[in-house]
A and B are shown apart, each in its own frame.
Chain A
Amino acid sequence: MAKGYLALVLHGHLPFVRHPEHEDFLEENWLYQAITEVYVPLLLIFDSLVADAVDFRLTFSLTPTLVSMLADPLLQSRYLERLDRLIRLLEMETTCTKWQPEFHALAAMYHRQFRSIRSAFVDRYNCNLVAAFHRLQDLGKLEIIASAATHGYLPLLSVNPSAVRFQIQVGIAHYALTFGQEPNGFWLPECGYYPGLDQLLSDQAIRFTILETHGITRARPRPRYGVHAPLRCPSGLAVFGRDPLSSRQVWSATEGYPADCDYREFYRDLVHDLDSDSLKRYVHPGGLRIETGIKYYRITGKTENKQIYVPQQAERKAEAHADHFLRSRTAQVESLASVMDRKPIFVAPYDAELFGHWWYEGPLWLNHLIRKVARDPSSLRLVTLSEYLRDCSALQPAEPPMSSWGRNGFNEIWLNPDNDWIYPRLRHAARVMEELEADHSENDGLTMRALDQAKRELLLAQSSDWAFMIGAQTTAEYANHRTESHLQNFSRLSDQIARRSIDERWLAEIESREGIFPAQVLRPGGAAHQPPSHSASNTH
């Protein structure tokens, strides 16, 4: 019997980016890269584990914005067009590198890989990756948890409790509509927590969430088990804490596994070496240098002189690192088991996009790790967070403090001189939204449509991604534009609703452009927003 539990948690999220008004929009490539490098490879690994009868469990968060994009037919067809261009690029590369054996072998590898990704996406998954995740949940291998509607950073929206409540309600309603059941768990965007948020989650029948390490260790009273057992908040919500050691081994930019010299170098993409004609033909008609995901070099070390990537070496390293990770957790379990009156849990949450995109060998590492754990269940067992709660005894009551997993552990990255201008406007808009809902509860179809679209615009403006990008100075111009345009649309809609003079043609235009959240998840008091009957108590 295992002496402890390992709960791997992968958080899958991308901001909602959909621009039907443009043929080839740069930022849509975030989704396409993630499908090729992350979601399809992970699904193939999970399927292979099922096929090999490997007993495994994972907790997986899929945000509503990501689910909406994955399910969108326009984005699916654009993805295939882009992938086909890259496959043609690789056919050219394979020919061009015929006299350079090392590059030729890599080009051929990527060609095979991209073709098999395409085949899996179309033939195996029928372009519907959400259904593939759903199937794994039905098999009991994944526990998919909900998240906020547009990944709003809740501590900074908390001045308007209605805004926080709506992010949670829409997120849960969207989950229920997608997966046909109510979620037990909820991923807090950026692990952003503040005291009192537990009650809002409990009100919606959420049973657990995950906090950054110091969200647990600095709870009051002092936790007896550190992060190795969950706490019970005043509302009854269970909160798990991230294990710092397992986190550092994977996340750390300097000492984590992904920094190993044998792994693929992230920045040396083939696109930087293409001539103008090839760029326009295979990458972007306008000649933009969008990353292809085709990279020939390994990290090598702190040098500009990068060496050629050797996939077999990288895979051996991934297996060795999986072994190291498991041995580290096993050693931790042995130590903790002697002082804990219950089996310790190691909660290891990561961005899903780490596995395959930022860390190309990440999916290989995960595959090796899961198989190794399954081969030796005497020490550690993989578990979902709901399973753990079902089997565990009384939880220590405590109040977690405000915390996040962002830089410096609190709100700084989303609230600083570069992006603080966003919040007064979001607060204004939230107050206006409350007034509009109170004043316009009639069933007039056009008004209801306008109200729904106003909610969409406000939710999209609240996305934490924009404040993050502005604060981190990455794609800041796009993020500024998105925030401004959603607030402007909201303002115009609220004005028209208040004056009872709605421009139906303009409304139809922005409805088709945004294409997120059907009306049934947006309307309070509807069936999609009723917490289930088992919400009466939240005991463990």
Chain B
Amino acid sequence: MDPADSPQPGQEKSPPQPALARAPEQLEPATKEPSALLESREKTSLVAIPVDPYVVHCQWEIAHADLEQAKRALGVDDDEYWPILRFCDVTNGDQGVRPSFSVEIQLEAGNWYVRSCSPERSYRADLALKREDGSFTVVASADRVKTPPSAPSSYADEHWLPIRLVPRVGLPIYVREEVSRKLSALYGGQEQGVFESRPQDPLPTDRGEEVHGKMADLPSNPEPPGLLGQPLPVDMRAEVGQLLTQLYAGLHLEPSVLAAGPFTREPFHMRRVGSELTKDSIADLTAWNESSFTYGTSSR
């Protein structure tokens, strides 16, 4: 692995690029300098690219004529303005957006690392000239730039909930039988399982004695009939969720159990013993993968 060699704090600019910083009258004719064809097309532009969730790199070219025009529009001479990069957070739209922050820059640097960004935000970046009284004029604007996220999303598609479809807390066996019967009625007797095929350990419950009593009546295979643990089609899962919610509501369970819900849209019920997987922790595979992951684990 290559040694970490991140840019030094405070060093937010690169050495100026000679060709870009030159005024048009200083460029030599193309016949004498092969690269002049590329460099002579002076256009004003600002490019913003994310480096990571917190840093955006901005690079600009300012045509001399555009700079002069901006100074005239602002009504300033050379010493009466300073250039800035203005970042507006437009994640939720462009309307009525106020600048999130500004960064003073040196125009001749040609580029800048802006380190004040936040993860998973969309920004509109402008290069502007600012006057002492705070007024400014925009010289160049970049296309919208979006920073990547720094953590997993908390948004879960209800059809792809990242948890098992079994209760987090104890659910009496007779309820599971009831669920199975209702599902069979709903889906034309097809043997669609809700619960996994793996036999469950005795479930923790505040009605422990009732559960054990019921379990004692079951055949040695604790799986109630009809529960095959087959994967549900995507369109069934939301309905199953509602069904379980209704069943729970009728069970007169403790409020804490009801509040938790039959299954939760909060995937964060991790339980870890050391670094080993446990039944609860592997319910959220995304969080488990993130906890095992280190950036840049390659020979590069």
Which of B39, B160, B277 is close to A335, meaning CB atoms less than 8 Å apart? Answer: B277
A156 touches B49 (CB 8 A): yes
Contact between A220 and B231 (Cβ–Cβ < 8 Å)? no
**A382 interface residue per 8 A CB criterion:** no
**Across the interface, do B198 and A338 meet the contact criterion of CB distance under 8 Å?**
yes
Closest residue of B by beta carbon distance from A231:
B160
Which one of B51, B198, B290 contacts A412 once the chains associate, using CB atoms below 8 Å?
B51
- Tell me whether B148 is interfacial, beta carbon within 8 Å: yes
Question: Contacts A159-B47, A220-B153, A410-B51: A335 and B295 contacting too (C-beta < 8 A)?
Answer: no
Q: Does A468 contact B (CB under 8 A)?
A: yes
Residues on A with beta carbons closer than 8 Å to the beta carbon of B51: 410-412, 415-416
Scoring B11, B111, B295 by chain A CB atoms within 10 A of each residue's CB, the highest score goes to B295
B53 touches A410 (CB 8 A): yes
A25 contacts which chain B residues (CB < 8 A)?
Answer: none
Interface window among B86-94, B243-251, B253-261, B280-288: B280-288
Interface residue? A252 (CB, 8 A): yes
Which residues A353-410 have CB closer than 8 A to chain B?
A: 353-354, 358, 393-394, 396-398, 401-403, 405-410
Tell me whether A217 and B37 are in contact (CB under 8 A): no
Contacts of B156 in A (CB 8 A): 221-222
Is A327 in the interface zone, CB < 8 Å from B? Answer: no
Q: Is A500 an interface residue (CB 8 A)?
A: no
Given contacts A220-B153, A405-B300, 7 further A-B contacts (CB under 8 A): A227-B285, A228-B285, A251-B1, A336-B282, A339-B282, A427-B47, A471-B5
A413 to B53, CA, bound (A): 14
Alpha-carbon gap, A339 to B5, bound state (A)? 41
Q: Is the CB of A222 within 8 A of B300?
A: no
* Contacting pair B38 A425 (CB below 8 A): yes
C-alpha spacing A432/B36, complex, angstroms: 12
Would you call A244 and B292 a contact (CB within 8 A)?
yes
Asked whether, in the complex, the Cβ of B282 is within 8 Å of the Cβ of A498, the reply is no
**Partner of B34 from A159, A340, A410, A495 at Cβ < 8 Å:** A495
Chain A residues touching B, range: 35 or more
A396 to chain B, nearest CB (A): 5
7 CB < 8 A contacts A-B: A226-B288, A248-B294, A397-B157, A406-B298, A420-B57, A432-B37, A487-B35
Cβ contacts under 8 Å, A505 to chain B: none
- Cβ of A48 within 8 Å of any chain B Cβ, yes or no, is no
Contact between chains at A409 and B296 (CB < 8 Å): yes
Say whether B50 contacts A402, CB under 8 Å. yes
Whether the Cβ atoms of B153 and A218 lie closer than 8 Å is: yes
Chain B residues, Cβ within 8 Å of A223? 160, 162, 285-286
> In the assembly, what is the distance between CA of A248 and CA of B294, in Å?
8
**Does B196 reach chain A (CB closer than 8 Å)?**
yes
CB-CB nearest in chain A for B233 = A394
Min CB–CB distance A28 → chain B (angstroms): 20
Q: Tell me whether B216 is interfacial, beta carbon within 8 Å.
A: no
Chain A residue with the shortest CB-CB distance to B161: A224
Contact partners of B293 in chain A: CB under 8 A: 213-214, 217, 244
Given known A-B contacts A412-B51, A495-B30, A222 and B286 have beta carbons under 8 A apart: yes
Q: Is A462 an interface residue (CB 8 A)?
A: no
Asked if B47 and A248 make an inter-chain contact with CB atoms under 8 angstroms apart, the answer reads: no
CB nearest neighbor in A for B277 = A335
The reply to whether A222 and B11 form a contact with Cβ atoms under 8 Å apart is no
Q: Is A237 an interface residue (CB 8 A)?
A: no
Q: Does A428 sit at the interface, judged by CB under 8 A?
A: yes
Q: Sorted from nearest, which 3 A-B pairs have the closest CB atoms? A: A226-B285, A341-B231, A409-B295
Q: Mark B80-114, 1 if CB is under 8 A from A, else 0.
A: 00000000000000000000000000000011010
Tell me if B149 is interfacial: C-beta within 8 Å of chain A: yes
- B25 CB-CB contact with A under 8 Å: no
Q: Would you call A424 and B285 a contact (CB within 8 A)?
A: no
Does B152 count as interface, using CB distance less than 8 angstroms? yes
Task: Tell whether A253 is near chain B: CB-to-CB under 8 Å.
Answer: yes
Asked if B118 is at the interface (CB within 8 A of a chain A CB), the reply is no
Q: CA–CA, A432 to B39, complex, Å?
A: 11
Q: Which of B13-21, B171-179, B202-210 is the interface stretch?
A: B13-21
